[in-house]
Amino acid sequence: MYKLIRNFLFLFDAEFIHEFSVKSIKIFGKIPFFNLFIREVFHLKTDNLKVKLFGLEFKNPVGLAAGFDKNAEFYKEFSNFGFGFIEIGTVTPQPQPGNPKKRIFRLEEDNSLINRLGFNNKGLIEVNKNLSKKRDIIIGANIGKNFFTENENAHKDYLKCLETLHDNVDYFAINISSPNTKGLREFHDKNLLKPLLEKLINFNNSKVNPKPMLLKISPDLNIAQLDDIISLMLELKIHGVIATNTTISRNGVKSNYKNETGGLSGELLKDKSNYVIKYLREKLGNDFPIVGVGGIMSKEDAIDKIKAGANLIQLYTGFIYEGPELIKNINKAILNQSS
């Protein structure tokens, strides 16, 4: 059924359809019993999928990656589809429009996407207001800097996000890896990253109830850069790592959109992401939490991520291409693996 719907939706601009779809889901959610029906269809009623990490208990290990619900406007609706957690954002202190449109491209023959959205969001005040509602799902906040903030002042933006959202989210994802914000990936340099993380960790630890802090990294790092980040995460006791963001590589791309700038996600990112996850697991040991994201287009892809070393996984492009049934299929496959 979803494939038929998708074929129609894919006739239109990707960003327009995204906005249309999430708003439609919210409208349908106001129909009596609609949300209950969706939950009955997509939720697996079992405790055997629960995952405990960094002091949190996830109903299941399948999350919605950042970028889908940038302003925390639709997390209640998405929770009905069976996700175990949702990461909102990326959030910046001040509202910003992002990069000029057109800025999302479907690479259908590659089962992938390219986006150069550029942290478009409504800003901290609006997002925090949206997060104050009651919910029954774990919410993480993916935070970043405004495009006009120079790197030497970037810590101030991250700190504003930490301070404002602290009481309304369950964990933070420090985003230093989007390719669509000028200078952001420079923070993979340990000499820039260490003082940034130290400031954020010190602030977080000063709170009565410190929140888990995860670092979201690029798939385009070389081994030396990965080793530096691994060493830093262990030294500073970061709670976990999200591997990975989108790639600027165009290896294997068949689509005519291959020369568009931006981050590539979907099937073509899968192997690159898996390689990083395997390397992280080998170097970090068995107990360090890893969230695997990048190219999960099927239940088999999800199992491969877990076998590579991921404790939790996140969907974005796969959710667009395969629909909400993918979540249930993955959770069923995880249950079968563990039985």
142, 185, 198, 234, 245 from 191: Cα distances, Å: 22, 13, 12, 16, 21
5, 81, 199 from 30: Cα distances, Å: 21, 16, 43
Contact predicate 121/131, CB 8 Å: no
Alpha carbon distance 179, 185 (integer Å): 7
Active-site residue, 178 included: yes
Contact predicate 162/100, CB 8 Å: no
Please pick, among 178, 255, 273, 298, the residue that the annotation labels catalytic. Answer: 178
Left, alpha or beta for 146 (phi > 0: left; psi -120 to 50: alpha)?
A: beta
Alpha carbon distance 337, 339 (integer Å): 6
Alpha carbon distance 272, 259 (integer Å): 19
Which positions are catalytic?
Answer: 178
